[in-house]
Structure 1
Amino acid sequence: MRYFEDIEIGETRAFGEYHVTEDEVVEFAEQYDPQPFHVDEAAAADSMFGELVASGWHTAAMSMRMLVEGPDDEDERASMGSPGVDELRWHQPVKPGDTLSLRTEVLEKRLSESRSDRGYVKSRLETYNQDDDLVMSWVGNAIFERRDDE
């Protein structure tokens, strides 16, 4: 188990490989973000993107999947959830056929002042496409269980 105490400020990790399909882009958008440039190729061709692109919310969901699945060598994490994210930005559109990957850097960590069983970790998460172009970034705020309840 990877607990709060095991996480180091400045630690970086690179992981994930997520292949984006056209069917998935359209299916997600039809259900959650049905704007024309996410669901209709002809409409997308006339948009500022010039082609079908994934919803930013879909990009966030794919990134979350990679984050939860973690690196191949990572033990189970003692994650207790998250109170939210800060600074969410979509830098480039994600297109069908792209392959995404994720990089993280731990920015800070602190013990909870009111709950001795947990600590808070703030990390920058960046999602890249196969050309190493930054497509999305956010600062995540996570809650981790402490190994020792001191």
Structure 2
Amino acid sequence: MKAKSPIKPSKLYWDDLNEGQNYVYGEYLVTEYELTQFAYKYDPLDFHIDAHKSKNTPFGTLIASGIHTLAINQRLSVNHVYKNWHLIAGKSMSNCRFIRPVHPNDVLTVNLTIKKLIKSNRPDRGVVELKFIVINQINLPVLKVDGEVLLLRKPPSSIQLKQDKDTI
């Protein structure tokens, strides 16, 4: 007979998170094709779309749009963190700083820290304040941004069950 393993919740609630908790995730290769295609559609400046013209800019080469870097941060966060949380919605972004350019063939990783957990006026949800730092393959930051997301709180019955279990 096999021993039963403890049941793990499939997703985390606001109540399961801790201030100071840190996640490091992703290895996202930014290809020249993706960089230019994104820029053609959303940010068609020469230094994002034209390798020849970008040589005559202060950057001297193609660089990714900052909006593209934000989108990569979002994609990695969904794939590695948000899909494991009971996420309701994004709430805000602030203090966005593009620290240095992202170039073709850069590999990006996200360092995410939970800054603060805030109870909502509504008892079924809470706000999570986040700090994102996106770094390149040589561990240099390329993007820093703060964010807030809204998460579900544990249903009252599961909180009570946990409290009952802790007292046994």
TM-score, normalized by length of structure 2? Answer: 0.84
Mapped pair 1:103 → 2:107: no
Give the superposed CA RMSD. 1.4
Task: Point out where structure 2 has 5 or more consecutive residues left out of the alignment.
Answer: 1-10, 160-168
Task: State the structure with more CA Rg.
Answer: 2
- What amino acid maps onto 1:67 in structure 2? S
Q: How does 1:20-59 map to 2 (within 5 A)?
A: 20-59=30-69
Name the aligned partner's letter for residue 113 of structure 2: E
- 1:5-84 pair list within 5 angstroms: 5-70=15-80, 76-84=84-92
2-structure distance, mates of 1:21, 1:68: 20
**Sequence identity, in percent?**
31
Kindly indicate whether structure 1 or structure 2 has the higher relative contact order, using CA contacts under 8 Å at least 6 residues apart.
Answer: 1
| d(CA) in 2 for partners of 1:35, 1:76 | 36
2-structure distance, mates of 1:112, 1:55: 35
* 3-state SS, counterpart of residue 82 of structure 1: strand
Aligned residues: 147
1:133 aligned residue: 140
> Which contiguous aligned blocks of 4+ residues in structure 1 show a shift greater than 4 angstroms?
none
The answer (yes or no) to whether the contact 1:2–1:75 under 8 Å persists in 2 is no
Q: Distance in 2 between matches of 1:60 and 1:117?
A: 29
Alignment-mate amino acid for residue 31 of structure 1? K
Q: CA deviation at 1:148?
A: 2.1
Partner of 1:85: 93
Provide the rounded CA distance (Å) in 2 between the counterparts of 1:121 and 1:139: 11
Distance 1:53 1:76 in 2: 32
Task: Quickly say closer, same or farther: Cα 1:142–1:39, change in 2 above 3 A.
Answer: same
Q: Which runs of 5+ in 1 are unaligned?
A: none
Q: Measure, in 1, the Cα distance between the counterparts of 2:37 and 2:83.
A: 32
Greater share of residues in helix: 2
CA distance in 2, matches of 1:68, 1:75: 6
